[in-house]
Amino acid sequence: MSPLLEVKNLNVNLDGEKIIENLSFQVAQGEFLTILGSNGAGKTVLLRTLLGFLPYEGIINWQQKLKSGYLPQGLTQLKLKDFPLTVQDFFALKNPVPDIEEITKFLHLVGLKKDILKKTVGNLSGGQFQRMLVAWTLVSHPNVLFFDEPTTGIDIGGGETIYSLLQAIWEKEKLTIFLVTHDLSIVYKYSTNVLCLNRKGHQCFGAPKEILSPERLEQIFGTEIKFYEHH
């Protein structure tokens, strides 16, 4: 597989503090990369750097024109409750505005019905809201998706989690996904590769089973972590 993204000797400093140090990795087209790490390890910073929001030193090389879909950590339902937006209004904030058939198609893909369009975003259930956000991200046909900790482990209905939904879409739409999380269980289940970060500058990169030994996990998370392997 040809690499979609090449990162070499990446350094990111914010307010004089080294957040990311000498990081190098490659991501191929169609990969499901999980970025793993404890709080404050720089996961969100890395994601926002890859998206072009933050200044950096080193090389970030996208092989094709990046058309990104992004779900930031802070985009919560609580935040959106301040806005008198229906689901349809929320989709209309996209640039360009997608047509109704397109929106409906992606709502179906994430398991939502068309009649949700008229509902106020603040009045959706937690699961509907998560699904709606995924559809909102997909509707502009991105080739790379960036998800920053979609609510961990939330049951979005029908026995599904946001991760199994993401994986289903990943397989169907042949996307490349960057997922930030500190939820270990999903790493084994879904990702093709793992990139781990921690505050002390320890990094690892590779397939989950190859690199995630108990010792390594302890390095990332400290001694508290229990080691589970999922099949």
Partner 1 sequence: MQFQLIFSLISGIFIGGVAGYLGTLMLSKKMSVVAGPLAHLAFPGVALALIFGFNISLGVFPFVIIGAILIWLLEERTKLPMENLAAIIFASGVGTALLFLPIDKAEEALIGSIEKITFWETTVVIILSLIVFYVIRRLYQKMMLMNVYEDLAVIEGINIKLYNLLYLLSIAIVVALGVYLVGGLITAALIAVPAASAKNVSSGLRSYKIWAIVLGVISVIAGIFIARFFHLPTGPMVVVSNVVLFLISVIFRKRSF
48 forms part of the interface with partner 1 (CB under 8 A):
yes
107 vs 117, which CB is nearer to partner 1? 117
114 forms part of the interface with partner 1 (CB under 8 A):
no
Q: Which residues neighbour 215 within 8 Å (Cβ) at sequence distance 6 or greater?
A: none
Closest CA to 168 of 106, 208, 109, 217: 109
Peptide bond into 96 cis (omega under 30): yes
209 forms part of the interface with partner 1 (CB under 8 A):
no
Rounded to whole angstroms, the Cα distance separating 160 from 102 reads 24
Rounded to whole angstroms, the Cα distance separating 195 from 183 reads 13
Applying CB under 8 A, which of residues 8, 18, 79, 174 lies at the interface with partner 1? 79
Applying CB under 8 A, which of residues 6, 13, 28, 51 lies at the interface with partner 1? 51
Applying CB under 8 A, which of residues 13, 26, 29, 68 lies at the interface with partner 1? 68
75 forms part of the interface with partner 1 (CB under 8 A):
yes
Query: Token match 């997909």: residue?
Result: 138
72 vs 160, which CB is nearer to partner 1? 72
Whole-number minimum distance, CB 181 to partner 1, in Å?
19
133 vs 197, which CB is nearer to partner 1? 133
Size of site (CB under 8 A) for partner 1: 29
Contacts 24+ apart (CB under 8 A), 90-94: 90/121, 90/132, 90/136, 91/117, 91/136, 91/139, 94/136, 94/139, 94/140
Applying CB under 8 A, which of residues 15, 17, 82, 215 lies at the interface with partner 1? 82
Which neighbouring-strand residues pair with 7? Answer: 25, 60
Closest CA to 178 of 66, 76, 93, 75: 66
122 forms part of the interface with partner 1 (CB under 8 A):
yes
Q: Which residues bind partner 1 (CB under 8 A)?
A: 48, 51, 53, 68-70, 72, 74-75, 79-86, 88-89, 92-95, 97, 118, 120, 122-123, 140
